[in-house]
Amino acid sequence: MALQNFIDQCLPAIESELQQVVKTAREPHYQGLHEMTTYHMGWEGEGAGPKARGKRVRPLLVLLSTASAGGEWVNALPAAAAVELVHNFSLIHDDIEDNSPLRRGRPTVWKIWGLAQAINAGDTMFTLAHLAVMGLKKTTSPIIALQATHLLQQTCLHLTQGQYLDIAYEEKTDLAIEDYWPMVAGKTGALLAACTELGALVADVDNETRNFYRNFGRDLGLAFQALDDYLGIWGNTDLTGKSVASDLVEGKKTLPVLYGLEKNGAFAKRWRQGPVTQGEVPEIAKQLEAEGGRAFTQDEAERLTSSALQSLEDADPQGDAGQALAELANQLLKRDV
């Protein structure tokens, strides 16, 4: 309830901030480049609309963190826009790197404009993200703006390092569980940690509280990913919107799969023989469960969920925003409360 109130207030402000940043690059000469950006953001072109925009979870996390840490969420809008632009820059490049033809139900940027322009459009969005965060100069102080800029850049480095591992792992067959966390920490944890930390930074809290916010975001990201990996094999289709066990067919190196490879039993033997077909899925999922992969993944997801919620409690989020932040976390972690 508190969350919905915030969403109703914040989402239009987020879209407006994002559009203002993207508009700075709009000049007649570069109209075509601007079109790629506004298409990817879900504002223009075929299929534009809320569905094409995604849920804007990251900017919401920023604003709710600021408000629950005692700041004014409007002051955090430049940081909120920045994290969403970083997220979308990485999606444009990921789609090229993964050869993905579709994103949120629409053709990807590279599918429409080609490889060269898509790489460049991603670079433009990356730059816009960095320009966006500079807006904090006006809403906070130069010192906070500089700290936020630094934090965002370190996050981007971590993000590209995670992406490096993700690509490198595609060809590896001898992976173990310890290879999982650095990849997920970069690909998912880093940006979510930045969201909650940036929010706390704008509220100008003490270092201890800022750490609690950061850890909350990071573990939220890790828990979310572990849960997503669990549901990708043993989930309910209605709940996830993906066909059950599609992760096995796609050959994804998820947490349960790495568990199975480390066990080096019947599952690992079958996995190393090559692509899994849809027909084999129930049996292979059962085998992985028998080897302990299901329980292990569930335990890890629960451990990280507890850790995230503990950090949130330690951060002592205040008021309606604090309640909304807890609601959002529980929603992402698919917990009924």
Q: Which stretches of the chain bind its own copies, using CB under 8 A?
A: 24-25, 27, 29-30, 32-33, 93, 96-98, 115-117, 119-124, 126-128, 130-131, 134, 137, 142-143, 145-146, 149-150, 153-154, 156-157, 160-161, 163-165, 167-168, 182
Q: Identify which of residues 152 and 245 has a Cβ nearer to its own copies in the complex.
A: 152
The CB-of-179 to its own copies minimum distance in angstroms stands at 8
Q: Which contacts qualify for 180-186: CB closer than 8 Å, 24 or more apart?
A: 180/253, 180/255, 180/258, 181/222, 184/221, 184/222, 184/225, 184/226, 185/158, 185/218, 185/222, 186/158, 186/159, 186/160, 186/161, 186/162
Contact 267, 291 (CB under 8 A): yes
The CB-of-93 to its own copies minimum distance in angstroms stands at 5
The CB-of-124 to its own copies minimum distance in angstroms stands at 4
Give the contacts of 111 (CB within 8 A, at least 6 positions apart).
Answer: 101, 102
Q: Identify which of residues 110 and 234 has a Cβ nearer to its own copies in the complex.
A: 110
The rounded distance, in Å, linking the Cα atoms of 18 and 307 is 32
Q: Identify which of residues 87 and 93 has a Cβ nearer to its own copies in the complex.
A: 93
The CB-of-33 to its own copies minimum distance in angstroms stands at 4
The CB-of-37 to its own copies minimum distance in angstroms stands at 11
Give the contacts of 96 (CB within 8 A, at least 6 positions apart).
Answer: 108, 110, 115, 118, 119, 122
Q: Identify which of residues 27 and 336 has a Cβ nearer to its own copies in the complex.
A: 27
Q: Identify which of residues 94 and 302 has a Cβ nearer to its own copies in the complex.
A: 94
The CB-of-321 to its own copies minimum distance in angstroms stands at 29
Contact 333, 73 (CB under 8 A): no
Give the contacts of 281 (CB within 8 A, at least 6 positions apart).
Answer: 244, 245, 248, 249
Q: Identify which of residues 9 and 24 has a Cβ nearer to its own copies in the complex.
A: 24
Q: Identify which of residues 124 and 287 has a Cβ nearer to its own copies in the complex.
A: 124
Amino acid sitting at position 235? G
The CB-of-21 to its own copies minimum distance in angstroms stands at 11
User: Residue 200, Cα to own-chain centre: how many angstroms?
Assistant: 19
User: Tokens for 19?
Assistant: 């559009």
The rounded distance, in Å, linking the Cα atoms of 165 and 100 is 18
The CB-of-47 to its own copies minimum distance in angstroms stands at 23
The rounded distance, in Å, linking the Cα atoms of 185 and 174 is 20
Q: Identify which of residues 150 and 335 has a Cβ nearer to its own copies in the complex.
A: 150
Nearest one of 307, 320, 153, 163 to 224, comparing CA atoms: 307
The rounded distance, in Å, linking the Cα atoms of 190 and 129 is 16
